[in-house]
Amino acid sequence: MERRLAAIVCADVAGYSRMMGADEAGTHATFKAHRSAIHPIILNHGGRVVKNTGDGFLLEFPSVVGAVEAAIAMQALMAERNNHLPADRAMHFRLGVHMGDVMADEDELFGDDVNIAVRLESVAAPGGVAISEKAYSEAGAYLSEQLVDAGMYRFKNIRDPIHVFTWEPTGSDAHDERRGETSVLPAQYRTAIVGVLPFVNLSGNADEYFADGLTEDLIHALSLQSFHRVLGRSATFPFKGKALSARLIAREIDATYLVQGSVRRSGTKIRVTAELIAPENGEQLWTGRYDRDMGDLFALQDEITTSLSAAIAPEIFRAEASASARKTDLTAWDRFLKGLSHYYRETEADFEASIDLFKEAIALDPTLAIARAYLATIMVQSMHYGWIKSTRELWGVAMGLAEDSVRLDPRSSFGFSILAYLHAMQGRHEAAQEAIRKAIELNPYDMGARGVQGVCHLVAGEHREAIELLSMAAQRGNGDPRYQWASSNAFSHYLLGQYDACLSWAREALYVNPNHLQVLAVRAAALARLGRSEEAAKAREVLLGNYPQLTVERHLRNFKWKNPADIDHYRQGLLKAGVPFGRLTLVESPPRRAADSTEQRRAGHESVECRPELRAIAILLLQDLVLGAGDDEMRAGAQVVGELLDRRCRDHGVVGRGEHQDRLTDPRRIIVGPEGTHRAEGGIGPGHRRRSEA
């Protein structure tokens, strides 16, 4: 057995299993043709093929400069060849380059440095090259191409992290998108490592490609999340068909979490099961099952991949947040994870703790974009819940955080989603649509982005489109507290006049947060619209009991819906439920004297404090005047006011209404005073006496 210094290049084909499933013979023939085309490049740089695999190969070069130049030349040639092929037939290699001491046994190579090259290949983008710092330091001075610093990565059984540099061909979509950008999240923060094991095919061999393709798609979907690192197929597919424990596999590939599952077909039905586990202790963090009818297999594969990604990603967030609660480090990432652990508890006190911890994380690392995105999210939710007073300044702070988040991390679908949401809430509809399109483009599997797109339709008055997207997000999501689809669905159904559905969604939202201000309000409005007066009154009491300062006028300031008819529809429901319009007081004008000038009469009103329930009913009467209610309804309402006044008079020692009763119970005598104040002609005034004065 010989030891020697060598440069190693490892290659595989991205999406190979899916391509084989679509066209097995054609994919194999295309792969062989590409391999033949690049073979002269290998030879021209002094390399040799150590071995071919089903979807890749391993190369050895005597010079690291030759290895890097050959890798770049191969990818440049592949880019040119792919330009002449349809998109679904384009074949993209991923190449990893490293140099070090290897063991040669006959024609095979072994050793840690070979393993590093294999792991580097998983870091490379399709069509790109990933090069270790060791190889780059030797070859960099001789290269004409510019490489990008991709940061530090940790690999299994390697004591020290590997500093990685990457290259992608000029003009490629990936190159244009990433040029000048840093990694989505600094490598030192991406401590969670996820391995997706090949899904087990429990049917015949004919379905093997579907199971492999589903695995590859899920690897891709999870890798679009900036929170964790996902191992490539080359790390997990070697374990296909091997009866090894999850713990042993996780230790071998250095995975924090493993996803495993199976595919079974019976006739025209297909069943996919999956689970997320923490292999060190064997805890099952999540499990799911999906039963579908066979149809368009690619469409089915995409649907299941989306559902799996939407369910699994939040569970990884939760698990990491829970683990951080046991730590006492003072790093920015620890502060962020600790804030996340409070956030998932969804109480007012925990939200306050989360806000403080997210702020600490940003202070420790101002470039931590994900902390800014979460802080913007939790501030907006706290205002929606009524836990923080909604002010223009706070909305401005949240918008600034969201804008900073996408500036610092322009590849975060979550960052663009919260930016779109804030634009929508503040009535900037075109900006909201632009931001949410970007979020979906960055991660088409992100159900959070799809739900926010539904919110953008909601505020634009497109409620059927909103319900479709919000319902899909609710179905495929996994209780991620960043998104409150139940409350948004309640509003969409309300604005379509589907009040029973509105109440159903409101009930779901209140299970999570019984004091959700907006949901309590829309529930009261929906009950009033349905004519369920007693229930509407109770709902109003709960709403005002939790938020005694709430008025319709103040509440609607936070709604920037595009369609004025939607605002009016919601306003009418709240008023019908008995929610007070504004903080108004009744005023009484003193007796007029002939000598009084017009100005003196206008200035002569004397304010009289009005009790809450009396004020609410009086305000309703004033609103009814504006809204054109019928005389009978008005007179009945005024009679209620009169009865309440009698009760108040008795409670406070005021002799009854006397000669003022007729004027009080005539709603047309309630008039508007100066500067928008309201007064009732008659009522409690100089004509009333305390019992002690009688």
Q: Which of 198-212, 445-459, 544-558, 636-650 has the lowest mean pLDDT?
A: 636-650
Residue where one domain finishes, among candidates 295, 322, 349: 322
Alpha carbon distances (Å) from 167 to 16, 70, 145, 636: 21, 13, 8, 79
- Please indicate, yes or no, if residue 581 is contained in any of the structural domains: no
327 in a domain, yes or no? no
User: What is the rounded distance in angstroms from the CA atom of residue 202 to the CA atom of residue 204?
Assistant: 7
Same domain, 73 and 214: no
pLDDT in tens, 21-70: 777 787 888 888 888 888 888 888 888 888 887 778 888 888 889 899 98
Within this chain, do residues 291 and 263 fall inside the same structural domain, yes or no? yes
Distance in angstroms (rounded) separating the CA atoms of residues 158 and 630: 82
Q: Are residues 504 and 594 in the same domain?
A: no
Query: In this structure, are 131 and 226 located in the same domain?
Result: no
Which range of 80-84, 281-285, 460-464, 628-632 scores highest in mean pLDDT? It is 460-464
Q: Is the residue at 187 inside a domain?
A: no
**Same domain for 314 and 339?**
no
Other C-beta atoms within 10 Å of 262: how many? 16
Q: Is 135 found in the same domain as 17?
A: yes
DSSP state of 690: B
Query: Residue 424 falls within a domain, yes or no?
Result: yes
CATH number at residue 477: 1.25.40.10
Q: So what's the pLDDT on residue 140?
A: 77
Closest CA to 198 of 211, 187, 188: 211
Instruction: Read off the pLDDT of each residue in 668-686 and give the average, rounded to a whole number.
Output: 37
Q: pLDDT tens digit string along 1-16?
A: 778 888 999 988 877 7
Q: What is the pLDDT of residues 145-188, one digit of tens each?
A: 888 887 777 665 666 778 888 888 765 544 433 333 334 555 55
Q: Are residues 394 and 436 in the same domain?
A: yes
Is 506 domain-assigned? yes
Which of 152, 180, 208 is the last residue in one of the domains?
180
| CATH assignment at residue 161 | 3.30.70.1230
Residue finishing a domain among 285, 303, 322: 322
Tokens of residue 559, six digits:
């709604």
Residues 30 and 120 in one domain: yes
Write the CA distances from 265 to 27, 127, 136, 296, integer angstroms. 25, 34, 48, 14
Helix (H, G, I), strand (E, B) or coil at 215: helix
What is the structure's pLDDT at 152? Answer: 75
Is the model's pLDDT at 542 over the cut of 90?
A: yes
Instruction: Give dist(CA 333, CA 357) in Å, integer.
Output: 10
Q: Which domain holds residue 638?
A: 586-693
Residue 267, Cβ density class (10 Å: 0-12 exposed, 13-18 middle, ≥19 buried): exposed
Residue type, 3: R
Has residue 619 got a pLDDT over 70? no
Classify residue 680: in a domain, yes or no: yes
Mean pLDDT in residue range 616-620 = 53
Instruction: Name the pTM for this structure.
Output: 0.55
User: Residue 281's domain is classified under what CATH number?
Assistant: 3.40.50.10610
- In whole angstroms, what is the distance from residue 331 CA to residue 352 CA? 20
Determine, yes or no, domain membership for 185: no
- Whether residues 409 and 536 share a domain: the answer is yes
Q: Is the pLDDT of residue 596 over 60?
A: no
Q: 209 and 104 share a domain?
A: no
| Radius of gyration over every alpha carbon of the chain, rounded to an integer in angstroms | 34
Nearest of 359, 404, 361 to residue 379 by alpha carbon: 359
Are 521 and 558 within one domain? yes
Which has the higher per-residue pLDDT, 288 or 599? 288
Q: What is the pLDDT of residues 265-286, one digit of tens each?
A: 887 788 888 888 888 777 888 8
Residue 692 has pLDDT above 50, yes or no: no
How many domains does the chain fold into? 4
Is there a single domain that holds both residue 520 and residue 631?
no
Contacts 24+ apart (CB under 8 A), 529-532: 529/494, 529/497, 529/499, 529/573, 529/576, 530/499, 530/500
Q: Is 186 inside a domain boundary?
A: no
Neighbours of 604 (CB within 10 A): 16
